[in-house]
Amino acid sequence: MEKLAIEGGKPVNTEPFPPWPSFSEKTFKMIIEPLKTSKLNYWTGEYGKKFEKELAKWHKAKYCVSTVNEYGAFHLALVSLGIGAGDEVICPSYTYFPPIFAILNTEHCLSLLTLITPIHLTRKILKTKLLKGLKQL
């Protein structure tokens, strides 16, 4: 096996990564109209509704609801599922903070962090470990 680049081996990528986010000229042209007309939100402009309709069609779904960010999406999902006070939501221990924050702000739910490794991903093992963990609570 060859040495890793960090150990003096040949790097896999020798070109700099492109900037992120990266936008096309078409994107910049599309941004100008709502800014000029002040039709920036869901109620005064058509873009939010148009985006939801096209995204639903792309996903072959009947509806689509856009949110302002990841936290908003998680919070909306939890509330729409009827998750509330006293409920517990099982999450991987290695996660980003918006899902946990959304859980804690959904009528004081609790997030249960659990270790999930590749060996735990089969349904039988995962189901057994989850049920055992819940019984211990």
CA dist., res. 62 & res. 41, Å (int): 23
132 is a domain residue: yes
DSSP type of residue 42: T
Number of domains present in the structure of the chain: 1
**CATH number of 68's domain:** 3.40.640.10
Residue 108 sits in which domain range?
40-136
CA 46, CA 43: separation in Å to the nearest integer? 8
118 falls within a domain: yes
Helices and strands (H, E) in the chain, number of each type? 5, 2
For position 56, what pLDDT does the model report?
95
The tens digit of pLDDT for each residue in 21-70 reads 888 999 898 888 888 888 877 888 888 888 899 999 999 999 999 888 99
CB atoms within 10 A of CB 137: 7
For residue range 99-113, list pLDDT tens digits in order: 888 888 887 777 777
Q: What is the rounded average pLDDT of the residues 81-108?
A: 83
Model pTM score: 0.58
68 domain residue, yes or no:
yes
10 within some domain: no
